[in-house]
Amino acid sequence: MLSRGNSYDEIRQAFRWQIPARFNIATAVCERHAQETPDRPALIVHQDSGDPDVVSFEQLDRLSNRLANLFIARGLTRGDRVGIMLPQTPETAIAHIAAYKAGLIAIPLSTLFRADALEYRLANSAARALVTDRAGLDLLADLRSALTDLAVVLSADGPGDGADDLHGEMQRASDRFSTVDTTADDPAFISFTSGTTGPPKGALHAHRSLLGHLPGVQFPHEFFPQSGDLFWTPADWAWLGGLMDVLMPSLYFGIPVLCYRAAKFDPAEAFHLMAKHKVRNTFIPPTALKMMRQISNPSRHWDFALRTLGSGGESLGSELLGWGAETFDLTINEFYGQTECNLVIGNCAAVMPVRPGSMGRAIPGHDVAIVDAAGEPVPSGTAGSIGIYKNDPVSFLGYWRDEAATADKFAGDWLLTGDVGTQDKDGYFWFVGRDDDVITSAGYRIGPGEIEDCLMQHPAVALAGVVGVPDAMRTEIIKACLVLRDGVAGDAVLEQDIQDFVRRRLAAHEYPRLIEFRDSLPMTTTGKIMRRKLRIPATDA
């Protein structure tokens, strides 16, 4: 959808949306490739020893046909919700595609969820079916009686308590299926917000959401796809960043995706995977990059050769950009979006300078502005809400069964992200913080991102989270919660050194007056620091 060009302005002016009236994600990412290039690899499944397993587009099509038939045979009807709680495995992609084929609404669910989180999402969405594995069944055991809408449970690890064998049942179903005729605006999936500012809300997305994501994948991945491209991400496919930034767009373009079932992120394993499978394109969240940065001279141990590396979810800053250039011989292209309206701002180093700390410019096809509470654009350099034009093709249909929350998300012609930012005179956007993350201290409005970036440059700091805490004189003072590098002990001397380090590099009003050393920082399942929990003392968190 995105045409090549020599400059950002040229690419933006040439861009035209191509959203057909009738569109189904499954047809776009699977069926058409199965018909045109049936043997083409769709999924490359890493094996700890030996060669990887390869799933072709024809196999993906036939297997998803079987599951779509199984859904229908079990009484599911168009519009019913299907929870999918699986790691990066072929069954995950199959379940999503089968749901789209059958006109069902998929609900991505992270394998990191515990019982309360799983129950909330299944109950809130009134899910009729769940596709999971043995670990998911263990969580479900004590919840089943409360989930009165849940009628079908299928396990990829074989039958279990109240669950049928996914593979056995699929084997008995036909591998032929006629995909439901859907409009581009028909619902396809519900992606729950990460819950950084309250209970998670279910963002309902249409089939057109995939098409809306494409420019935001092509731009930071420098005119993806190109010959030889192969995509991998450590991000959970249950997160929009894994599902719609990587898996579905790659399949749409006929590009294979590497699957790796990891219990947790291992930075050494990430380098190993990229080298072994000759990964060319990757999306790695900032927290994972910070962990990878702690490995010295990785190129001595692994022969990796990335073409593009995208990141988003937290501001990168100059430290990570510099490390990325030195380690991968490329520029990490940061991008921005949110669950409700994803991949709308980004960088593309091939056609425009990347400014450290900036999220980039509006992705071609998307209209983004800094607006006030009434939805009116503000002058450049003025802080305000990051707003996205309300008719954007990637925008959600609304919050699941919550009209009031949906209405509150908009002001005038703009969808309000809830994030505070600025835009400079050249069109670059700068993240300040979420509305509730911005610190007001001695009359200054201070975003935590810049301070966190500075703290990350200190040689003793592995992870940093910054919040404001109440103060009688200054309204708020800055507090830094730090995880130190291995072998470093936190004491009063180090605390003073870190404070001086920030004071010298930023400003007197931006250094952390309070420092708390922690073993870990609270994270959402998508790898974002939960700053609201940092406001609670570690002993009470």
Residue spans of the domains in the chain: they are 27-205, 437-534
Residue that the structure tokens 């505070």 belong to = 420
pLDDT at 541: 43
- DSSP letter string over 118-133? HHHHHHHHT-SEEEE-
Structure tokens at 254: 């006929």
User: Letter for the amino acid at 376?
Assistant: E
pLDDT at 443: 56
Structure tokens at 233: 């991400």
Beta-ladder partners of 470: 476
DSSP 333: E
473: left (phi over 0), alpha (psi -120 to 50) or beta: alpha
Q: Is residue 227 a contact partner of residue 6, using CB atoms and an 8 Å limit? A: no
Q: Going residue by residue through the chain (541 aa), what tens digit of pLDDT does each one get?
A: 799 999 999 999 999 999 999 999 999 999 999 999 999 999 999 999 899 999 999 999 999 999 999 999 999 999 999 999 999 999 999 999 999 999 999 999 988 888 888 998 999 999 999 999 999 999 999 999 999 999 999 999 999 989 999 999 999 999 999 999 999 999 999 999 865 445 679 999 999 999 999 999 999 999 999 999 999 999 999 989 999 999 999 999 999 999 998 888 899 999 999 999 999 999 998 878 988 999 999 999 999 999 999 998 777 888 889 999 999 999 999 999 989 999 999 999 999 999 998 999 999 999 999 999 999 999 999 999 999 999 999 999 999 999 999 999 999 999 999 889 999 999 999 988 776 677 877 656 576 877 888 899 899 999 999 999 888 767 789 999 999 999 999 999 999 999 999 988 776 778 999 999 999 998 876 667 888 788 776 444 4
pLDDT at 194: 61
pLDDT at 196: 47
Instruction: Report pTM.
Output: 0.85
CATH 3.20.20.70 assigned to domain 437-534? The reply is no
Domains 27-205 and 437-534 share a fold: no
Sequence-distant (≥ 6) Cβ neighbours of residue 335 within 8 angstroms: 216, 219, 220, 310, 311, 312, 343, 345, 346, 347, 359, 360, 363
d(CA 320, CA 464): 13
**330 three-class SS:** coil
d(CA 338, CA 344): 9
d(CA 24, CA 104): 11
pLDDT at 436: 67
Q: What is the phi/psi pair of residue 249, to 5°?
A: -60, -40
Q: Is residue 449 a contact partner of residue 481, using CB atoms and an 8 Å limit? A: no
Q: Name the architecture of domain 27-205.
A: 3-Layer(aba) Sandwich (3.40)
Enumerate helices (H) and strands (E) in the chain, giving the number of each. 18, 27
C-alpha R_g of the chain:
23
Length in residues, the chain? 541
